[in-house]
C-alpha cells in the first residue's frame, strides 16, 4: 500500500489528484481555488463536473487524524481560497471545527431527494446534491441549513414559489418519480390482493444508514417497525417493502425479514415506490424519505424518528423536536426541501439545471432504461445510456437528444455551487 506521505510528496511536485491512495490523472486547471473533498468514495469523480472552476483534491478515504494533522492541514491552509467538503460523516470528526477556527468554508454533502434512475450503491451519478453548512439534514440533534430554511423562509410572502411547488408535486405524482426510479411498475392489486380493510405499508431502510443513527433517539430495526405496525393495527393487512439496496443485494439487512413473514406480506419484487403506495392507508417508516413521499400522495405517515419533514404539523410524530414550532403546508415543506435546499445537475450534459428540468430528464432517462431492455446494474447508467442511444438509430429521437444533453442549458445565476 502506498503511504499517504509518499502520495502527498508526489502530489506536491506534480498536478495530480489523490483518490483512495492512488495518484491518478492530472488536475484540471491547476491554480484555480482548491476544493478539498474528504470521505468521498473513489467513484464519485462526478465532483469534477459539478465544480469545473475548482482544483479538486480528493483526500484518501480512511484517513487517520494524525495523517490529517501532518499532511493535510498545511495544504488546506496554504491557499486562502480553499474550501472543504465532507461526504456525510465519512470525513474526519475534527474537520468542521478545524475549518471554523480557520475561517474556511465547509459543507456536508449528500444526495438530494430526487437522485437518479438506478441506486447510488450501483455508482450511478446523482442528479441532485444537498450542501449544508451546519450539519447533515437527517441529524435531529441540532439545526441544519434545511431546518433553517423551513423555519425562517417567508413562504406566505412567496406566492410564486408555492404555486411552483404545487405544480412540481403534481408533476412528481403524475410521473411516479421518487428518489430512485429503477423499480418495476406492476399491478399492485395482484401483489396485495383484494382490499378487505385497513392496509398498512412498512418501508424498510438500510439499517446501517446514518439517518437512523442520527435521526432517532430510540433505535428500531425494520422488523421492530413491522411488529409495531402489526400491534397498533389489529386486523389490518401489513405489507413490508424492504429497501431496494437490500433487494439488489448491495446492502446486508441487520434483521431477517423472514422472522416477520407470519404477520406481514413481504414484497420480494423491487417495485417502484409510487406503485407501492397505491391503496395504502398508512405508512410506517423510521427515517426514510418515503414517509414524506407518502404525505405527497395523501397517505398518513407515522414517525418514530425526527426526519426533516416531521414537526411541522403534517406527520404523526412520536419523537417531537422543540426547535420546530412552525406549521407548514405540504407545498411549503416541499418548496423548502426540493426547490430551495438542493442543487440539480445533468451528469451527461454536465450543466446545472433547475428542478423542473431534473424531473423532465429523469422521466426521459427512466424511459430509456426501459426501452433499452438491458441490465445496467453494474455500470454507470448515464454513460451506458449515452453509448447505447448513440449506436441505435431507432432511438434518434428527442429522448436520445436529451440523453446526449443537447437540450439542457446552464442557469444564468448558477455557474458553480460555491457557498450554496
Q: pLDDT for 97-106, tens place per residue?
A: 999 999 999 9
pLDDT band of residue 108 (cuts 50, 70, 90) is: very high
DSSP for 140-155, please give it.
TTS--HHHHHHHH--S
What is the structure's pLDDT at 122?
61
Residue pair 232/300 in contact (Cβ under 8 Å)? The answer is no
Sheet with 128-132, edge to edge strand ranges = 55-58, 34-38, 83-87, 106-111, 128-132, 343-346, 351-353
| Range in 169-173, 229-233, 389-393 with the lowest mean pLDDT | 389-393
| Range in 66-80, 164-178, 188-202, 330-344 with the lowest mean pLDDT | 188-202
Q: pLDDT for 323-349, tens place per residue?
A: 898 999 999 999 999 999 999 999 888
Q: Is the model's pLDDT at 127 over the cut of 90?
A: yes
Residue with cell 406527520: 315
What is the structure's pLDDT at 16?
34
Residue pair 401/385 in contact (Cβ under 8 Å)? The answer is no
What is the structure's pLDDT at 230?
95
| Range in 147-161, 166-180, 324-338 with the lowest mean pLDDT | 166-180
Contacts of 215 (CB under 8 A, 6+ apart): 138, 139, 140, 286, 287, 305, 306, 307
User: Domain 176-328 carries which CATH code?
Assistant: 3.40.50
**Which cell is 383 given?**
454513460
pLDDT band of residue 218 (cuts 50, 70, 90) is: low
Contacts of 168 (CB under 8 A, 6+ apart): 334, 338, 339, 355, 356, 359
pLDDT band of residue 210 (cuts 50, 70, 90) is: low
Residue pair 4/62 in contact (Cβ under 8 Å)? The answer is no
Calculate what percentage of the chain has a pLDDT beyond 70. 71
CA 129 to each of CA 136, 333, 361: distance values in angstroms, whole numbers, following the listed order: 12, 18, 16
Q: Is the model's pLDDT at 25 over the cut of 60?
A: no
DSSP three-state, residue 316? strand
**CA–CA separation, 80 vs 74, rounded Å?**
11
**CA–CA separation, 212 vs 220, rounded Å?**
8
What is the structure's pLDDT at 402?
39
- Give the chain's mean pLDDT: 78
CA 252 to each of CA 103, 205, 243, 265, 278: distance values in angstroms, whole numbers, following the listed order: 40, 11, 10, 20, 27
What is the structure's pLDDT at 412?
34
| Range in 91-95, 215-219, 288-292 with the lowest mean pLDDT | 215-219
Residue pair 177/114 in contact (Cβ under 8 Å)? The answer is yes
Q: What is the mean pLDDT of residues 365-381?
A: 54
What is the structure's pLDDT at 86?
97
Residue with cell 418548496: 335
Q: Where are the domains of the chain?
A: 4-111, 176-328
Q: What is the mean pLDDT of residues 264-293?
A: 84
What is the structure's pLDDT at 401?
41
Amino acid at each position: 500500500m502506498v503511504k499517504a506521505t509518499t502520495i502527498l510528496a508526489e502530489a506536491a511536485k506534480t498536478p495530480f489528484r489523490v483518490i483512495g491512495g492512488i495518484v491518478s490523472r492530472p488536475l484540471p486547471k491547476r491554480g484555480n481555488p482548491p476544493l478539498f473533498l474528504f470521505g468521498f468514495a473513489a467513484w464519485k469523480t462526478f465532483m469534477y463536473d459539478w465544480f469545473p472552476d475548482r482544483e479538486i483534491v480528493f483526500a484518501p478515504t480512511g484517513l487517520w487524524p494524525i495523517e490529517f494533522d501532518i499532511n493535510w492541514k498545511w495544504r488546506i491552509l496554504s491557499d486562502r481560497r480553499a474550501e472543504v467538503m465532507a461526504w456525510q460523516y465519512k470525513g474526519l470528526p475534527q474537520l468542521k471545527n478545524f475549518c471554523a477556527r480557520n475561517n474556511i468554508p465547509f459543507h456536508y454533502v449528500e444526495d438530494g431527494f430526487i437522485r437518479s434512475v438506478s441506486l447510488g450503491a450501483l455508482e450511478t451519478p446523482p442528479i441532485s446534491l444537498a450542501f449544508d453548512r451546519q450539519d447533515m439534514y437527517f441529524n435531529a440533534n441540532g439545526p441544519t441549513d434545511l431546518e433553517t430554511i423551513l423555519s425562517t423562509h417567508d413562504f406566505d410572502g412567496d406566492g410564486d414559489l408555492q404555486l411552483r411547488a404545487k405544480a412540481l408535486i403534481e408533476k412528481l405524482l403524475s410521473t411516479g418519480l421518487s428518489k430512485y426510479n429503477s423499480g418495476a411498475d406492476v399491478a399492485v392489486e395482484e401483489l396485495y390482493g383484494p382490499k378487505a380493510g385497513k392496509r398498512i405499508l412498512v418501508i424498510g431502510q438500510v439499517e446501517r444508514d446514518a439517518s437512523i443513527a442520527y435521526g432517532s433517539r430510540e433505535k428500531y430495526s425494520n422488523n421492530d417497525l413491522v411488529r409495531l405496525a402489526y400491534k397498533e393495527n389489529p386486523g389490518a393487512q401489513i405489507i413490508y417493502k424492504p429497501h431496494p439496496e437490500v433487494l439488489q443485494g448491495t446492502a446486508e439487512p441487520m434483521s431477517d425479514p423472514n422472522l416477520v413473514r407470519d404477520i406481514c406480506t413481504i414484497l420480494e419484487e423491487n417495485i417502484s415506490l409510487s406503485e407501492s403506495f397505491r391503496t395504502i392507508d398508512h405508512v410506517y417508516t423510521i427515517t426514510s424519505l418515503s414517509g414524506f413521499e407518502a404525505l405527497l400522495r395523501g397517505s398518513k405517515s407515522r414517525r418514530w424518528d425526527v426526519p426533516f419533514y416531521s414537526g411541522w404539523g403534517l406527520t404523526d410524530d412520536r419523537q417531537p423536536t422543540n426547535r420546530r414550532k412552525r406549521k407548514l403546508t405540504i407545498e411549503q415543506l416541499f418548496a423548502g426541501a426540493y426547490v430551495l435546499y438542493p442543487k440539480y445537475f445533468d451528469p451527461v450534459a454536465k450543466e446545472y439545471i433547475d428542478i423542473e428540468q431534473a424531473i423532465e430528464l429523469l422521466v426521459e432517462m427512466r424511459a430509456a432504461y426501459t426501452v433499452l431492455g438491458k441490465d445496467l446494474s453494474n455500470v454507470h447508467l448515464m454513460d451506458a445510456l449515452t453509448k447505447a442511444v448513440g449506436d441505435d438509430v431507432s432511438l434518434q429521437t428527442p429522448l436520445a437528444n436529451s440523453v446526449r444533453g443537447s437540450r439542457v442549458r446552464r442557469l444564468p445565476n448558477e455557474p458553480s455551487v460555491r457557498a450554496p
